[in-house]
């Protein structure tokens, strides 16, 4: 007993281990109905995540709509000024990610990575796509708001300024609510009984990614820097986000360029949101199957390539074809979210995970920064180089994800041969009681870790 205690003190253990050790009397995980537990978590966690993401993504759509509401005229933007303005937003996001790495090691990472703490890997994908589909609703609501506020005249502020202030305040308020409403860890979830918390920790223990550890480990920084998957995921994110960055900033202007009025452009952009929602549900359903993540992402990229060709090479007078292309290119958003979830599921180690998610967010910002810069004033009105860039970046992402899937498969087979066969997910019975399960180890250090391909 003394030796076990010494062992536990000598290793860096997740806080979930301490909770389980103090609640042995609550019985094994099999005593709880996992399906009922999952539904309970869905009812409490998913609405919070959906609402917060809806609000914070809505304000990112504002620049797109403000462009047709008079922003470019009021600010006397010329040449490439609007592209530069869209770029500055994501420069700020990149800068903000630097302190985020530090913050994530001081505050509960569940505030950023909630899905991982409440669901097994095979259940995360569809739920990740569900709450991320809020961005589609953003486009729809944003179009309606833009249309409505364009009817505001003779106000002290321009209509687009009022919209910025309103949604900016709403975003701040929801961000503060998140810290109050979202539990720090599953162990702090008031809507779960102690027995349910124990059952949940047993259930997710097979993820081998932990729940919360607060010690920053320098060795995990080295692991992070030398891990090929990190850089493949980062580049894939940048390539995919170049397309989403274009639709985020320019879709309303492209539609207005077909001869529609600003009010019509705001309304005609709304179907883009519907495409995002449908694509999120389709891809989310695919993630519930045994299809490899790399295949699902590459398939989405292939559709995006076809759509980009439609936008890039359809005759300029074929407005219906061009509109369809602008709508359908929004399939890239759910593809991007799948890459996020893939990274989240395949990276272990608290410090390594926080750095990875910060880097992925920086990659999103970098891609969103590059996207608007492909639209140069000298290329008007066709913007042919930008459209070709969309095709090339989607093809590059598909290739990289196939390489990444092959790397994961090769690594899993190599580990099976060296350490014995394991599965990505297996029977969680008993594993949660093992000290090794809750050690703060990276996916490279943990020899029993197997990657989702």
Question: What tens digit of pLDDT does each residue of 294-352 get?
Answer: 999 999 999 989 888 877 777 777 888 888 888 888 898 999 999 999 998 999 998 89
Q: How many angstroms separate the CA atoms of 113 and 348, rounded?
A: 12
Q: Which CATH architecture has domain 17-420?
A: Up-down Bundle (1.20)
Whole-number Cα distances in Å, 330 to 146, 189, 232:
19, 35, 23
Greater model confidence, 79 or 344? 344
Q: How many angstroms separate the CA atoms of 211 and 216, rounded?
A: 15
The residue whose two tokens read 């990274």 is 343
Tell me what pLDDT residue 1 has: 43
Rounding to the nearest 10 degrees, give the CA dihedral for residues 148, 154, 160, 166.
-80
> Which tens digits make up the pLDDT trace of 61-74?
888 888 889 898 89
pLDDT surpasses 50 at 160? yes
Tell me what pLDDT residue 381 has: 66
254-258, 361-365, 381-385 — most confident range = 361-365
- Give the mean pLDDT of the chain: 85
- Kindly list the domain boundaries of the chain, sorted by start residue: 17-420
- pLDDT interval class at 359 (50, 70, 90): very high
Q: How many angstroms separate the CA atoms of 239 and 120, rounded?
A: 28
Please tell me the number of Cα atoms within 13 Å of 264 on its side-chain side. Answer: 9
Confidence (pTM): 0.88
For the ranges 25-34, 89-98, 266-275, 281-290, the lowest mean pLDDT is seen at 25-34
Tell me what pLDDT residue 256 has: 86
Tell me what pLDDT residue 3 has: 47
Backbone dihedral region for residue 32 (phi beyond 0: left; psi -120 to 50: alpha; all else: beta): beta
Q: How many angstroms separate the CA atoms of 32 and 48, rounded?
A: 24
């Amino acid at each position: 007993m003394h030796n076990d205690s010494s062992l536990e003190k000598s290793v860096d253990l997740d806080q979930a281990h301490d909770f389980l050790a103090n609640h042995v009397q609550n019985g094994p995980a099999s005593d709880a109905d996992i399906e009922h537990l999952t539904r309970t978590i869905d009812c409490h966690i998913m609405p919070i995540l959906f609402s917060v993401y809806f609000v914070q993504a809505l304000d990112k759509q504002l620049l797109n709509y403000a462009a047709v509401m008079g922003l470019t005229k009021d600010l006397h933007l010329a040449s490439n000024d609007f592209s530069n303005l869209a770029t500055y937003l994501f420069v700020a996001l990149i800068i903000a990610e630097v302190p985020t790495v530090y913050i994530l090691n001081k505050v509960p990472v569940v505030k950023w990575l909630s899905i991982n703490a409440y669901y097994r890997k095979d259940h995360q994908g569809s739920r990740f796509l569900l709450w991320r589909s809020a961005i589609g609703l953003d486009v729809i609501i944003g179009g309606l708001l833009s249309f409505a506020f364009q009817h505001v005249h003779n106000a002290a502020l321009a209509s687009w300024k009022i919209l910025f202030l309103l949604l900016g305040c709403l975003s701040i308020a929801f961000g503060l609510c998140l810290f109050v409403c979202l539990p720090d860890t599953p162990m702090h979830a008031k809507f779960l009984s102690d027995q349910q918390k124990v059952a949940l920790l047993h259930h997710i223990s097979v993820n081998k990614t932990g729940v919360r550890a607060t010690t920053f480990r320098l060795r995990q920084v080295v692991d992070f820097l030398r891990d090929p998957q990190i850089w493949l995921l980062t580049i894939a994110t940048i390539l995919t986000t170049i397309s989403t960055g274009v639709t985020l900033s320019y879709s309303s202007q492209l539609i207005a360029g077909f001869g529609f009025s600003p009010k019509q452009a705001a309304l005609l952009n709304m179907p883009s949101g519907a495409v995002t929602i449908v694509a999120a549900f389709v891809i989310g359903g695919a993630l519930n199957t045994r299809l490899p993540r790399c295949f699902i992402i590459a398939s989405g990229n292939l559709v995006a390539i076809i759509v980009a060709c439609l936008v890039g090479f359809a005759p300029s007078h074929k407005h219906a074809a061009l509109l369809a292309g602008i709508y359908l290119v929004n399939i890239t958003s759910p593809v991007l979210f799948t890459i996020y979830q893939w990274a989240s599921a395949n990276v272990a180690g608290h410090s390594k995970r926080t750095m990875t998610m910060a880097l992925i967010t920086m990659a999103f910002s970098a891609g969103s920064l590059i996207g608007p810069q492909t639209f140069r004033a000298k290329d008007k009105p066709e913007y042919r180089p930008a459209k070709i860039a969309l095709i090339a970046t989607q093809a590059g992402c598909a290739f990289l994800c196939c390489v990444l899937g092959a790397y994961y498969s090769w690594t899993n087979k190599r580990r099976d041969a060296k350490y014995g066969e394991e599965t990505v997910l297996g029977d969680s019975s008993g594993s949660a009681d093992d000290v090794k399960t809750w050690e703060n180890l990276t996916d490279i250090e943990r020899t029993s870790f197997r990657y989702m391909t």
